[in-house]
Amino acid sequence: MNFEERKNLLAGKKQSHILDFYDQLNDEEKHILLSQIDAIDWDFQQAFQNKDHPSSDTEIEEIDALHIQQIIAQRDTFQAIGLDAIREGKLCLLLLAGGQGTRLGFDRPKGCFNIGIHKKLYIFELLIAHTLEVVHAANAWIPIYIMTSNINYKDTVNFFEAHNYFGYRAEYVHFFVQELNPATDLDGKILLKSKYELALSPNGNGGWFSSMHKAGLLDTIFESNLEWINVFSVDNVLQRIADPVFLGATIASGKMSGAKVVRKAFPEEKVGVMCKENGKPHIIEYYEMNEEMLNKRLPDGSLAYGFGAILNYLFPIHRLKETLDQAMPLHVVKKKVPHIDKNGVLIIPDEPNAYKYETLALDLIHKMDDCLIFEVDREKEFAPVKNKEGVDSVDTARVLLEKNGYTL
């Protein structure tokens, strides 16, 4: 595309303002801006148009879980199945570490955050320590894929190298980069970070499989023994990764996916819950539920929509392969995004001022035919580090770590 063609494209998309400062740029800056324009995935415009008209053609039903008591009763069997599968090289891990962690307000990758108090204990270090426990129990290395974004790739890789992979074998750790989407203002106009850069941010945590594909990682996976992939977030410092009991239970269930869940603490808790949508496993966000759904109870008194997803899933690789050519829906999320205004002055917003366009891992669950909902004890496996203070913060995570015997 030459400059005129790009100009026409932007005019057609009602985004001509992106070139407002073009005449002031040097050659290198022009090159950066033009290549960012070429890389724009314009699907975000459709998501912007549809954001106030969610599809109403859906039937939501409750879904039950494998309860903790049932898991305890079959624990040894599940564990043996899971450990065998790991020994046979059937499991790999996918750590979602491409987020920006804006709520935490830490200017490095979230995994580099030191959750220790009197000693250093980095989030990445904890996640690797949890994985190493399973590696030792199975006596087999488990490949770990780490998704970063272009923004935090170097910092993440350097951190692992500087810490000698926290004792993991480096040859089993693979980093890759997810794509970026432009953020827009509330009228759908792409924001500029500077006169020659778009305000880009990672495109969500749902596109990891196609990003792995683009990074050229899937061929080796398809040729290997790998059958299952355990996907998890960077910020739950108590979660069990590569959990052989979870893997064994999912394999034994014959289902197409698995999702770890915790019981909601109270009806209004801000967590997405497992349900069925048009017969398929689905996660409904708390803000999509009406009063009746939030408070509906089963005969035993428990909440009908009471199992909150904690972003720890198992997917069968052959089934994921079939989803590769299917688009993932883009969700429109209101966030604070720094940008320059039409005079080139930097604006740091205090309130959400922009939309980001993100795919979500939960939409991948929806593409699976069914799902084993696997209940875990929230006191033992759920300590998310999302916020600087208050709910799901560094402080609450520290309390839970200490309760579980960690020395901080």
Residues that bind ligand UTP in the complex, under the rule CB under 6 A: 96-103, 147, 178, 202-205, 233-235, 358, 386
**Angle at which helices 27-38 and 3-12 cross, to 10°:** 50
Return the number of the residue (71 or 401) whose C-beta is nearest ligand UTP: 401
Separation of alpha carbons 330 and 80, rounded Å: 39
- What tokens does 269 get? 């808790």
Closest CA to 398 of 113, 134, 131: 113
Q: Evaluate whether 255 touches 319 at the Cβ level (below 8 Å).
A: no
In whole angstroms, the minimum distance from the beta carbon of 338 to ligand UTP comes to: 13
Return the number of the residue (113 or 305) whose C-beta is nearest ligand UTP: 113
In whole angstroms, the minimum distance from the beta carbon of 321 to ligand UTP comes to: 21
- Buried b / exposed e along 142-162 (16+ C-beta atoms within 10 A): bbbbbbbbebbbeebeebbee
In whole angstroms, the minimum distance from the beta carbon of 57 to ligand UTP comes to: 27
Return the number of the residue (46 or 150) whose C-beta is nearest ligand UTP: 150
Return the number of the residue (83 or 394) whose C-beta is nearest ligand UTP: 394
In whole angstroms, the minimum distance from the beta carbon of 205 to ligand UTP comes to: 4
Residue with nearest beta carbon to ligand UTP: 99
Return the number of the residue (235 or 363) whose C-beta is nearest ligand UTP: 235
**Pairing assessment for the beta strands 307-316 and 228-233 based on DSSP bridges:** antiparallel
Return the number of the residue (34 or 180) whose C-beta is nearest ligand UTP: 180
In whole angstroms, the minimum distance from the beta carbon of 287 to ligand UTP comes to: 14
In whole angstroms, the minimum distance from the beta carbon of 360 to ligand UTP comes to: 8
